[in-house]
Amino acid sequence: MKAYKNMSRDELLTLKESLEKQFKEEEAKGLSMNMARGKPGVSQLMLSMPMLDCINSESDMNTILGNDTRNYGDLDGIGECRQLMADMMEVEKDNVIVCGNSSLNIMYDTISRSMTLGVNGSTPWCKLDKVKFLCPVPGYDRHFKITELFGIEMINIPLKEDGPDMDLVEEYVNNDAAVKGIWCVPKYANPTGISYSDEVIKRFANLKPKAEDFRIFWDNAYCIHHIYDDVQDEILNILEECEKAGNPNMVYMFASTSKVTFPGSGVSAIATSKENMDYILKQMTVQTIGHDKINQLRHVRFFKNIDGLKDHMKKHGDILRPKFEAVLEILDSELAGLEIGSWVKPRGGYFVSFDAMPGCAKAIVEKCKQLGVVLTGAGATYPYGKDPQDSNIRIAPSFPTPEEMVEATKIFVLCVKLASVEKLLQQ
């Protein structure tokens, strides 16, 4: 295929006419497909339906230690669920607090607690003149929304193929006391799908923060979300690396079963140092009597152990794989060589990240919407919704069927081509 940038103006005009004709044909179909968020499809939700039968009115409701899950107690979660989440996150049970259904809720609480109460006795962030957060980009829009809500200044850090630009991270963290944290999705990152290298994780663990209350917010959302059985990413354990480096308190790790069982009714957890845990539990004691222990028990009885959890995730992978491959095959066959976009081929997670020609992302998303395909808003993967290049688009293949993904991706490709031609003609 001939690269668009090498075409003459006449060639581009002829191509534009052809693409506009295709666009009108697609518009007449009146399609309606939503790829805006990484929602599990119905077939994935069905995998966990038997979990609802694990507990009924005849069930023994006691934990292994004999605690009645219907009653008060176990503020940090029932022991067997803490063990399951610890195994999922590859940490020690003693470093885990199990909470409600949403890890995002824990992250919000952690930021809120830091703002109002401080971090382990330090000055509350709300009393400081300036609070800054580092944001690897493109990244997770809901992370950015939390820090934006609290008025925290966000600083873009480019995300490379092996993780954030650590030269920049070290420069900011080690020299600016106003830098209090960094958002990270270290495995199958949202949206790029990359996983952090050993070197990057070791450099994180060996940071020398200017601020004693600096924390790494390590959102390990996709720690067991592999798409392939034979090729899977593995990353170093950040808690262990921080301990080795003499920085045991520097990291909060988050995870949940939101995309493992039911997004609205999973269990979530935070893993961190004993000192951090004590401070968190001190606040939680006032905040809540405890989270839903019956749901925790239900999850444990359904999975039994980490092996049961891994077997369950293989089924998720079998459902997701054809959808991802449908997207990638069409991108490869239709766009390779045109030099109007680049994309990643993730081995796990929930997204395909696409980088269009600069200045084209908003136009592509809008054109897709006109044809009935709803994507995450252009710019959402950057703080304040502002992609400086207007280039990145997050594709979420999980919710539509494989057949719908084929149709949606063809429409996406058409819109990429048309927006790119229009941009080149403007130049």
Is 8's pLDDT higher than 80? yes
3.30.70.1140, 1.10.10.1800, 3.30.460.10, 3.40.640.10: which CATH number matches 61-304? 3.40.640.10
For residue 65, the model assigns a pLDDT of 95
Residue 68, pLDDT > 80, answer: yes
Instruction: Read off the pLDDT band of 33 (50, 70, 90).
Output: confident
Q: Look at residue 139 in the predicted model and tell me its pLDDT.
A: 97
Q: How confident is the model at residue 361 (pLDDT cuts 50, 70, 90)?
A: very high
Tell me the percentage of the chain whose pLDDT exceeds 70: 100
**Per-residue pLDDT at 109:** 98
Tens digits of residue pLDDT in 144-175: 999 999 999 999 999 999 999 999 999 999 99
pTM of the model: 0.96
Q: What is the pLDDT of residue 403?
A: 92
pLDDT over 80 at 380, yes or no = yes
pLDDT of 37 reads 83
Q: Where in the chain is the domain with CATH 3.40.640.10?
A: 61-304
What integer is the mean pLDDT of 401-407? 92
The predicted model gives 381-395 an average pLDDT of 97
Weakest-pLDDT range from 36-40, 343-347, 376-380: 36-40
| pLDDT per position as a tens digit, 241-254 | 999 999 999 999 99
pLDDT value of residue 34: 85
Write a three-state SS string for the chain.
CCCHHHCCHHHHHHHHHHHHHHHHHHHCCCCCEEECCCCCCHHHHHCCHHHHHCCCCCCCCECCCCCECCCCCCCCCCHHHHHHHHHHHCCCHHHEEECCCCHHHHHHHHHHHHHHHCCCCCCCHHHCCCCEEEEEECCCHHHHHHHHHCCCEEEEEEEECCEECHHHHHHHHHHCCCEEEEEECCCCCCCCCCCCCHHHHHHHHCCCCCCCCCEEEEECCCCCCECCCCCCCCCCCHHHHHHHCCCCCCEEEEEECCCCCCCCCCCEEEECCHHHHHHHHHHHHHHCCCCCHHHHHHHHHHHCCHHHHHHHHHHHHHHHHHHHHHHHHHHHHHHCCCCCEEECCCCECCCEEEEECCCCHHHHHHHHHHCCEEECCCCCCCHHHCCCCCCEEEECCCCCCHHHHHHHHHHHHHHHHHHHHHHHHHC
Residue 31: the pLDDT is 83
Segment 15-22 mean pLDDT: 97
pLDDT at position 44, please? Answer: 97
Residue 1: what pLDDT?
77
Q: Where in the chain is the domain with CATH 3.90.1150.10?
A: 4-44+310-426
Mean pLDDT calculated for residue range 85-93: 98
Average pLDDT (271-279) is 98
Supply the mean pLDDT for the chain.
96
pLDDT band (50, 70, 90) for residue 385:
very high
What confidence score (pLDDT) does residue 63 get? 97
Provide CATH code, domain 4-44+310-426. Answer: 3.90.1150.10
Residue 306 in this model has a pLDDT that exceeds 90: yes
pLDDT band for 206, please (50, 70, 90 cuts).
very high
35 confidence band (pLDDT: 50, 70, 90): confident
At residue 174, the pLDDT reads 98
pLDDT of residue 237: 97
